[in-house]
């Protein structure tokens, strides 16, 4: 399928309408809103991290409402079982008196799934969710069932209260397209949040897009062009995260493991999604730079020295972007 420049401009305007409608209810959180939309367009999943009470759950619910997607919330707890997520087969009595097994779908069978506090569930339960994320299928008693399209998982976790949690291993974190940090609101934003949530007037959100339009937008993202020099620049960024091969001394000193090929694919997908939002059918260097930190911050594992020195993955990515210019290392 071939799209015209006019198609990309029209879609960009539609996505701007989506962002504005979300802003009617969600105050601030510009980066969280933007990258959540990018993930939807790139057909990927996002991990949101922030302190309790910052509106992570409400943000995801609002996005699903504006995009007219079926929504379900799974509250992860240590006693949550895989069947609580995927569903299970149950015996059903028929009118003729006979019995048969019927599959009762779990909450994972929604178009947008909120995995709340994902790190509170056991690794076995986490794996049930991550299978659905990676394969877009669920296997129950040997039978494979397809998920609805589009399908997104937006998971949340708190950076505090680590007691009783099961942190996601790096290999499972890698399945998230990006990691979004939800920050504190400003004083002005807190004033506005209070006015909107404690007043008597309720806000009714309009449904701006639907499933078919989202799938159409995802296809447009795939068709966006990326020049060889842009692709080479993205590869240089990923290669610079590898401590054994990086020419940046700080990377070799503080990083234990860097990003793999999935990180490169995520970088390109999100850069294309950002280009679509801007109404362009080609990836720019600004697109790649803008999405680098959310894509790589959960794919860089610092070593003991890096953690002891108080270094962060974001600082390492900033250093890489400052060091590597398009087509060359300075």
CATH number for the domain harbouring residue 76: 3.40.50.300
Shared domain for 118 and 265, answered yes or no, is no
Q: Could you give the CA distance from residue 230 to residue 216 in angstroms, rounded to a whole number? A: 25
Distance CA 91, CA 254 (A): 56
User: 205 and 289 share a domain?
Assistant: no
> Which residue, 210, 235, 252, sits at the end of a domain?
210
**Which of 210, 240, 259 finishes a domain?**
210
The band of 272, judged by pLDDT with boundaries at 50, 70 and 90, is very high
Give yes or no: residues 231 and 173 share one domain: no
* Segment 164-179, tens digit of pLDDT: 566 777 767 778 888 8
Cα dihedral across residues 263, 267, 272, 278: positive or negative: positive
**Same domain for 253 and 206?**
no
Q: Is the bond into 150 cis (omega within 30 degrees of 0)? A: yes
Q: Say if residue 139 is in the same domain as residue 230.
A: no
- Domain-embedded: residue 198: yes
The two beta strands, 328-329 and 324-325, are antiparallel
User: How many structural domains compose the chain?
Assistant: 2
CATH number for the domain including 235?
1.10.8.80
Residue 149 lies in a domain: yes
Residue 215 domain-assigned (yes or no): no
Same domain for 43 and 146, yes or no, is yes
Asked if 93 and 171 sit in the same domain, the reply is yes
In this structure, is residue 231 part of a structural domain? yes
> Over 80: is that where the pLDDT of 289 sits?
yes
Total-model pTM: 0.84
Residue 8: which pLDDT band, with cuts at 50, 70 and 90? confident
Nearest-angstrom CA–CA distance, 95 and 191:
59
- 101 and 22 in a single domain? The answer is yes
* Structural domain includes residue 59: yes
264 and 302 assigned to the same domain: yes
Rounded Cα gap, residues 27 and 196, in angstroms: 9
CA torsion sign, 311 to 238 to 275 to 67?
A: negative
Q: Is 157 inside any structural domain?
A: yes
Same domain, 186 and 286: no
Calpha distance 47→38 (Å, rounded): 13
Residues 247 and 128 in one domain: no
218 occurs within a structural domain: no
Q: What is the pLDDT of residue 199?
A: 64
pLDDT tens-digit map of 72-100 = 888 888 888 877 887 777 777 777 767 77
- Residue 33 and residue 73 in contact, taking contact as beta carbons nearer than 8 Å: no
In a domain, 80, yes or no: yes
Query: Beta-strand (E) ranges in 86-175?
Result: 87-93, 99-105, 112-116, 137-140, 143-146, 152-157
State the residue range of the domain holding 297.
Answer: 224-329
Instruction: Answer with the one of 159, 180, 210 that is the final residue of a domain.
Output: 210
User: Are residues 205 and 108 both part of a single domain?
Assistant: yes
């Amino acid at each position: 399928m071939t799209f015209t420049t006019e198609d990309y401009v029209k879609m960009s305007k539609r996505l701007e309408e989506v962002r504005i409608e979300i802003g009617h209810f969600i105050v601030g959180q510009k980066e969280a809103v933007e990258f959540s939309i990018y993930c939807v367009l790139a057909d990927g999943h996002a991990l949101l991290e922030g302190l309790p009470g910052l509106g992570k759950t409400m943000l995801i619910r609002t996005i699903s409402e504006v995009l007219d997607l079926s929504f379900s919330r799974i509250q992860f707890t240590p006693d949550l079982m895989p069947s609580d997520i995927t569903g299970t087969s149950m015996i059903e009595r028929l009118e003729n008196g006979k019995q048969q097994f019927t599959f009762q779908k779990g909450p994972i069978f929604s178009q947008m799934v909120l995995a709340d506090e994902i790190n509170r569930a056991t690794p076995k339960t986490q794996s049930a969710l991550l299978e659905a994320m990676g394969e877009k299928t669920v296997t129950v008693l040997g039978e494979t069932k397809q998920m609805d399209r589009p399908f997104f998982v937006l998971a949340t976790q708190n950076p505090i209260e680590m007691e009783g949690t099961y942190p996601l291993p790096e290999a499972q974190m890698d399945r998230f397209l990006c990691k979004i940090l939800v920050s504190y609101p400003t004083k002005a934003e807190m004033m506005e949040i209070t006015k909107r949530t404690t007043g008597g007037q309720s806000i009714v959100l309009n449904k701006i897009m639907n499933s078919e339009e989202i799938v159409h937008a995802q296809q447009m993202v795939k068709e966006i062009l990326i020049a060889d020099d842009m692709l080479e620049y993205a590869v240089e960024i990923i290669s610079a995260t590898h401590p054994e091969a990086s020419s940046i001394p700080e990377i070799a000193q503080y990083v234990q493991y860097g990003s793999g090929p999935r990180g490169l694919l995520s970088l390109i997908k999100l850069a294309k999604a950002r280009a679509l939002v801007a109404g362009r059918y080609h990836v720019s260097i600004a697109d790649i730079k803008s999405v680098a930190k959310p894509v790589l911050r959960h794919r860089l594992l610092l070593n003991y020295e890096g953690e002891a020195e108080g270094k962060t993955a974001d600082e390492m990515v900033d250093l890489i972007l400052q060091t590597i210019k398009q087509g060359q290392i300075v």
